[in-house]
Amino acid sequence: MTSATALARAESLIRSIPDHPEPGILFRDITPLLADAEGLRVTTEALVEPFAGSFDVIAGIEARGFILAAAAAIVAGTGLVPIRKAGKLPQPAAAVDYALEYGTATIEMHDDLPAGSRILLIDDVLATGGTLAAGRRIVEQLGYTVAGVSVLFEIAGLGGRDFVGDVHTVFSS
């Protein structure tokens, strides 16, 4: 079990950068957290703890979600499946379009997993919920089961949880 003190210290490493990538957006820079071995360890443990034993593989959403999902897969002893932006995978099996808080995008995923695989979906942030909802849709579209959704932090007040459904968050702001 991860201690509250260790998690509070890890949270203090996340910087807020106003007006990036566009005016009005408050960007959460997790680079200092990623550079801190203990901070990275406790946050990745916290991402997977509630789902222990309920998933077969972790899927990470591009781009910062890859980093967290890879670390979480190592902690959990599972593999990693990337969910990438359009055009990045050599043979995508499915694609889903979605709206961002500052534009639109498309994600793609391979279908290399055994039928019925249970996937823990991980991303860095829950804001408006578009990216995570698209991640859920693409996993289900390929016939896999979403065993859970876990994010590093949630930006409260943007309605993402209402759009995505049940989400485990390590931090909220």
Flag whether pLDDT at 46 surpasses 70.
Answer: yes
Q: For residue 110, count other CB atoms closer than 10 A to its CB.
A: 16
Q: In the chain, what are the domains?
A: 47-172 (3.40.50.2020)
Phi-psi region for residue 24, left (φ > 0), alpha (ψ -120 to 50) or beta?
A: left
Residue range 105-125: mean pLDDT, rounded: 96
pLDDT confidence of residue 133: 94
Residues labelled catalytic = 64, 101
Copy the structure tokens of residue 20: 């990036």
pLDDT in tens, 49-75: 999 999 999 999 998 999 999 999 999
Flag whether pLDDT at 102 surpasses 70.
Answer: no
pLDDT confidence of residue 49: 97
56 in Cβ contact with 116 (< 8 Å): no
Q: Does the bond joining 63 to the residue before it have cis omega, within 30 degrees of 0?
A: yes
Q: For residue 35, count other CB atoms closer than 10 A to its CB.
A: 10
Residue range 128-145: mean pLDDT, rounded: 94
HSE of 48 in the Cβ direction (CA atoms, 13 Å)? 27
CA distance 99 to 103: 6
Residue range 138-148: mean pLDDT, rounded: 97
Q: DSSP character for 93?
A: S
CA distance 112 to 23: 40
Flag whether pLDDT at 1 surpasses 60.
Answer: no
Write phi, then psi, for 23 (nearest 5 degrees).
-55, 135
pLDDT band (50, 70, 90) for residue 79: very high
The kind and range of the H/E element at 10 are: helix 4-11
Residue range 81-97: mean pLDDT, rounded: 93
State pTM to two decimals.
0.92
CA distance 106 to 87: 9
pLDDT confidence of residue 21: 85
